[in-house]
């Protein structure tokens, strides 16, 4: 199993597309482990995008990512990174394939709705940037069913924290 970080960027939040993003990821078979909404402070945005410092798009990117709230989420599935990136589409919304999140809801190369980890290594670095271990959860598909849970015994009622 792999994990990946998905951020719904300020344009996605402003366009009311958070639900669309989460829905597509769930319908594709990825399992949501954690989600939170936050306004990214400038220092945190600068740290997150430090690999791009000095590039012409760095300052506009920082202004954009700190302008309004974002929604951070962690997903798990076999090949989660490549599966999520396929759902997102090419970075430039105008060049993304039809049916991808960026093509359907993005505007261009910067206002492209979502960020997703580009590798397992990136995900391992990015996830702790937004989530503490106790904010991520594993759970069974039927843990919500109290009758079913009680039939299995009291130890099965606990949802494991990662």
List active site positions: 115
Instruction: Tell me how far apart the alpha carbons of residues 95 and 100 are, in angstroms, rounded to a whole number.
Output: 10
As a whole number of angstroms, the distance between CA 127 and CA 52 comes to 18
Q: Which two three-digit tokens encode residue 84?
A: 């999520």
Q: Find the distance separating the first CA and the last CA of the chain, reported in whole Å.
A: 14
In total, the chain counts a number of residues equal to: 162
Within 95-158, where are the H helices? 101-105, 120-130, 146-152
Distance (Å, rounded) from C-alpha 9 to C-alpha 47? 16
Q: Which residues contact 54 (CB under 8 A, 6 or more apart)?
A: none
């Amino acid at each position: 199993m792999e994990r990946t970080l998905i951020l719904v960027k300020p344009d996605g939040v402003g366009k009311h597309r958070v639900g669309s993003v989460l829905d597509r990821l769930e319908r594709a078979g990825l399992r949501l482990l954690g989600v939170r909404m936050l306004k990214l402070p400038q220092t945190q945005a600068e740290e997150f995008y430090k690999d791009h410092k000095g590039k012409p798009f760095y300052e506009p990117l920082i202004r954009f990512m700190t302008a309004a709230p974002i929604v951070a989420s962690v997903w798990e599935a076999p090949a989660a990174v490549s599966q999520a990136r396929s759902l997102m589409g090419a970075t430039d919304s105008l060049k993304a394939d039809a049916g991808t999140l960026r093509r359907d809801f993005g505007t261009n190369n910067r206002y492209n709705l979502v960020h997703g980890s580009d590798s397992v290594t990136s995900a391992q670095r990015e996830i702790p940037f937004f989530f503490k271990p106790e904010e991520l959860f594993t759970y069974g598909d039927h843990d919500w069913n109290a009758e079913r849970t009680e039939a299995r015994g009291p130890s099965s009622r606990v949802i494991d924290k990662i």
